[in-house]
Structure 1
Amino acid sequence: MHPMATCPDPVLATIGDRVRSLRAVRGLTRRELASMSGLSERFLAQVESGLGNIAVTRLTRLAAALGCRPGALLDPAPAADGRRAVSLLGLRGAGKSALGQGVADALGLAFHEHDRVVEEAAGMELGELFALHGDRYYRDVARETLDRLLADLQVPTIIATGGGVVADPEAFDLLRRRTHCVWLKATVDDHWVRVVAQGDGRPMRDRPDARAELGRLLDRRVPLYARAEHVIDTSDLGLRQSQIALRELVSSLLGIHPSPPA
């Protein structure tokens, strides 16, 4: 017969791997993705197994259903082995910047606040970027800068991500594959109090129901944040104990063994 007939083509195998991964990020069943993309469930199963020779038009529909560019389904993802970064997830007020910077300083690691990287690349602050170009442009810049940041890592690193990174399946997939993802969990009340304490008035500006909006946003994001490998409940532990817990976790994940103080 033809013993090589079922051996996946490398390109088709890459597409299958990426489709499975992005479907998992979005929390979709195969049946749901088939319906959204207009493909049959049987053919989608063949694609995910690396045996479905998918046409460009179908690939485009599949990418749209997954919320990514068609080219993203053709790029092999790096193996998770040897991940050199920990990414912190959560809404504003989760403690990503404060806890992340504190732990990075304590362990001698590099620290990047991704929103600042986006601002530098765009040449403007986030508020201006959203006002001038909108959410879609921000996501494009955020995804591109995140890809470059992860590709250029030279030393163990902690990354404080933007709160909405989990809503971009392609960007979240990058983080899940190339970094150890840690969700800094908090109640909506703690998120609110911490943002107000920082003197950040953006959440309240022209929004009389801002507190309730924040609660609804958190409710929508929780299922996405919950796909992180690790969770630290900062409301339960408090910020001081959360920093200790994060330091221990990062040390374990990245193989960092700081010397005890003299």
Structure 2
Amino acid sequence: MAEITNFRGEVQEAASDADREVEILIARVGERVRRARDRKGIPRRVLSEKSGVSPRYLAQLEAGEGNISIGLLQRVAHALDHKIEWLVGEDDPWSSEALRVADLFRTANARTQARVLATLSPEPVAAARAHRICLVGLRGAGKSTLGRRAGDVLGIPFLELNREIEEQSGMPVEELMALYGQEGYRRLEAQAIDRVIATHDTMILAVAGGIVAEPETYNVLLSKFHTIWVKATPAEHMARVREQGDTRPMAGNPEAMEQLRSILTAREALYERALAKLDTSGRTEDESLDEMLALIRSHDFLG
């Protein structure tokens, strides 16, 4: 009889220890979600909208009372621009050293970041980028036109990320944005980039201008592609878009040019992280193409 009592006691004690570990994990996840949200200055309501998790559930989670599923936690982590491992791991991801390194890396120029990655990554940076080239910059700079022509000259595939997303979803960009919203579309962009990386070692890719504002996605581009910032003056950006038959930038918006200048100014530091720069201002299409091909050769992007 004593043996049965001991056995039951040991089982109850083991179950109690497991329950305590689960409680500690839930409390740790809740605390880290709250700290990440506070650090980014994101109200709970905004995090709810970005993640699709209700404010009430987020409040329970942050209080250590919500036993959240892996799927929902992944959505919360994505909305906070963190990996899910950061929220559940035992090591403190917000140690002063980790935060300082992350901040320094985020604000460093492309050359410094490349040196850091070369030191920390077991795979050489050049090997990770393979022969993939990515063109970044605002619409109207010439990414699609020059990318397509460069691909023809070099005999390598050219893709536009938006067209890739449309083909996979079977829906135009406008409908996808209306259905999933900005955050949902950014997730589709990230997934499309992963597919491109998995299926192409040699290519030229043109991406939408705003993708550089998504830190995690842009870091993937910088690490897996040789990046070229294709730029122009605000006036030429606007004129080229209108020449394409799109009058939306100016329609009913007399301040459109000023807004365009503000966008360029705000994103300039992000575009500067590209490995190379091509200014198409005041140049013919053929002149810009020749310079792009020269950049690709001088930087040895295709080996």
1:152-208, Cα deviation, whole Å (9 max, x unpaired): 114x21001111110111111111101101001111111001101111233234534
The amino acid across from 1:148 in the alignment is R
- Which of 219, 223, 230 is matched with 2:276 structurally? 230
Distance 1:65 1:223, change over 3 A: farther
Report the 3-state secondary structure (helix = DSSP H, G, I; strand = E; otherwise coil) of the residue aligned with 1:181: strand
Report the 3-state secondary structure (helix = DSSP H, G, I; strand = E; otherwise coil) of the residue aligned with 1:202: coil
Matched, 1:117 2:164: yes
Q: Partner of 1:24 in structure 2?
A: none
- Name the CA distance, whole Å, in 2 between partners of 1:68 and 1:240: 43
The amino acid across from 1:110 in the alignment is P
Query: How far 1:84 sits from its partner (Å)?
Result: 1.5
- Name the CA distance, whole Å, in 2 between partners of 1:95 and 1:160: 10
Matched, 1:145 2:145: no
1:78, 1:177 within 8 Å by CA — same for their partners in 2?
Answer: no
1:89, 1:160 within 8 Å by CA — same for their partners in 2?
Answer: yes
1:28-57, Cα deviation, whole Å (9 max, x unpaired): xxxxx9x8369xxxxxxxxxxxxxxxxxx9
1:68, 1:169 within 8 Å by CA — same for their partners in 2?
Answer: no
- Name the CA distance, whole Å, in 2 between partners of 1:104 and 1:141: 25
2:197, 2:224 within 8 Å by CA — same for their partners in 1?
Answer: yes
1:93, 1:192 within 8 Å by CA — same for their partners in 2?
Answer: yes
Larger Rg: 2
Matched, 1:36 2:78: no
Higher RCO (CA 8 Å, separation ≥ 6 residues): 1
Report the 3-state secondary structure (helix = DSSP H, G, I; strand = E; otherwise coil) of the residue aligned with 1:194: helix
TM-score (norm 2): 0.59
Distance 1:78 1:121, change over 3 A: farther
TM-score (norm 1): 0.67
1:72, 1:170 within 8 Å by CA — same for their partners in 2?
Answer: no
Matched, 1:134 2:137: no
- Name the CA distance, whole Å, in 2 between partners of 1:169 and 1:254: 23
- Name the CA distance, whole Å, in 1 between partners of 2:86 and 2:161: 21
The alignment's C-alpha RMSD in Å is: 3.2
5+ residue gaps, structure 1 = 1-32, 39-56, 257-262
Report the 3-state secondary structure (helix = DSSP H, G, I; strand = E; otherwise coil) of the residue aligned with 1:143: helix
Q: Partner of 1:81 in structure 2?
A: 126
2:133, 2:204 within 8 Å by CA — same for their partners in 1?
Answer: yes
- Which of 81, 86, 95 is matched with 1:67 structurally? 81
Between Structure 1 and Structure 2, the one with more helix by share is 2
Report the 3-state secondary structure (helix = DSSP H, G, I; strand = E; otherwise coil) of the residue aligned with 1:157: strand
Report the 3-state secondary structure (helix = DSSP H, G, I; strand = E; otherwise coil) of the residue aligned with 1:86: strand
Report the 3-state secondary structure (helix = DSSP H, G, I; strand = E; otherwise coil) of the residue aligned with 2:126: coil
- Name the CA distance, whole Å, in 1 between partners of 2:86 and 2:228: 24
Q: Partner of 1:260 in structure 2?
A: none
- Which of 214, 223, 238 is matched with 1:168 structurally? 214
The amino acid across from 1:81 in the alignment is A
Distance 1:37 1:214, change over 3 A: closer
Q: Partner of 2:31 in structure 1?
A: none
5+ residue gaps, structure 2 = 1-35, 42-61, 63-73, 90-120
Matched-pair identity in %: 37
1:36, 1:65 within 8 Å by CA — same for their partners in 2?
Answer: no
- Name the CA distance, whole Å, in 2 between partners of 1:172 and 1:181: 10
